[in-house]
Amino acid sequence: MLIKIKKRSDAEEYEITPQSLFEQRRRFIKKVGGLSLAAATLSLPPSALAALNINPYSKDVDGDRDELTAYKHITSYNNFYEFNTDKQSPAKLAGSLKTDPWSVTVEGECAKPGVYALEDLAKPHKFEERIYRLRCVEAWSMVVPWIGFPLADLVKQLEPTSRAKYVEFTTLFDPEQMPGQNRNVLDWPYVEGLRMDEAMNPLTMMAVGLYGEVLPNQNGAPLRLVVPWKYGFKSIKSIVKIRFSETQPQTTWNLSGPKEYGFFANVNPEIDHPRWSQARERRLGEYRKRKTQMFNGYAEEVAQLYRGMDLKRNY
């Protein structure tokens, strides 16, 4: 077996997932392949991870420990409106989503359009583990050890033309598998997008796993975007389409509430959501609130993308 990882979350995984599904996921991550680095990495203790520039115990803005969020919290408190709008339902309902086989359609301004089996899309890339804070617009946050590969590598593989200024992502639309899509809470399918320089930033990743395993369905299996300096709604789940475009994509949350959810959605403690403050956040599994950091703590890596832009207007 390619992945053999012992960790405290094993018990919880079995608790929430039927054995057959669990086995199916493991087979799938083997099929998608390329996980040798992740497998090697994940069997190492935290001290060794630090040597790989992966630091699970960094500090937040007040110098408090910024530990990994427990697997059970990451996988049981979710936003996945395709299943239901409350946080507990996705973990209970997402088992109905069939993630293998899975294909991704690539369209628009690129030299390599087509319909790709997920494994063909993922295989050329070097998988790695990245520990990122994810800050939801609703002021909760978590620290997740994702497994995936840089979106930049995928973009290069698909050879966008010089006209491609944005990348748009679409989630599966299938109300039979995703019962929440029978309700008009959002304009389905869920769509998100990035400016090309955001997509090419080395922090941006396509995730296929977390905590050393294939993504649980409720976290966006089999392929999701992770953009750690933006509010969580940008990190679109269960992607079936990638489109390169000259114009800014019409994104789901921006269409649903343009005054509340901007296209950029960069984490910014100084700009409040019209209905609540964004200055603080609650880490899943904790009661106290922490200060939210500019660009979610990734300003050094990404602030230059927005130089000269009015962040109040471009929220």
Site of tokens 């294909």: 103
Q: Is residue 281 within the footprint of ligand MTE (CB under 6 A)?
A: no
By the rule CB under 6 A, 242 interacts with ligand MTE: no
Q: Is 218 helix (H, G, I), strand (E, B) or coil?
A: helix
Q: Which two tokens stand for residue 173?
A: 């639309």
Task: Tell me how far apart the alpha carbons of residues 214 and 217 are, in angstroms, rounded to a whole number.
Answer: 9
Choices 13-21, 39-47, 234-242, 254-262 (CB under 6 A): range interacting with ligand MTE? 234-242
For ligand MTE, the nearest residue by Cβ is: 232
82 lies in the binding site for ligand MTE (CB under 6 A):
yes
Residue 235 in the binding site for ligand MTE (CB under 6 A)? yes
Q: How far is the CB of 134 from ligand MTE (least distance, A)?
A: 6
- One-letter amino acid identity for 62? D
Q: Of residues 41, 66, 72, 80, which one binds ligand MTE by CB under 6 A?
A: 80
> What 3-state class would DSSP assign to 191?
strand
Does the footprint of ligand MTE cover residue 69 (CB under 6 A)?
no
Cβ atoms < 10 Å from Cβ of 70: 17
**Contact map string, positions 169 to 208, toward ligand MTE, x by CB under 6 A:** --x------------------x------------------
228 contacts ligand MTE (rule: CB under 6 A): no
Q: Which helix (H) or strand (E) holds 23?
A: helix 19-32
Q: Is 136 in the site for ligand MTE (CB under 6 A)?
A: yes
Q: Which of 9, 41, 69, 78 binds ligand MTE (CB under 6 A)?
A: 78
In sequence order, what DSSP letters do the residues of 31-100 get, joined into one string?
HH--THHHHHHHTS-HHHHHHTT--TTEE-TTS-EEPPPPHHHHTTS--BTTTBSSSSHHHHHGGG---S
Single residue of 237, 241, 243, 283 touching ligand MTE by CB under 6 A: 237
**Helices and strands in the chain: count of H runs, count of E runs:** 11, 14
Binding site for ligand MTE (CB under 6 A): 78-82, 136, 171, 190, 219-220, 232-233, 235-238
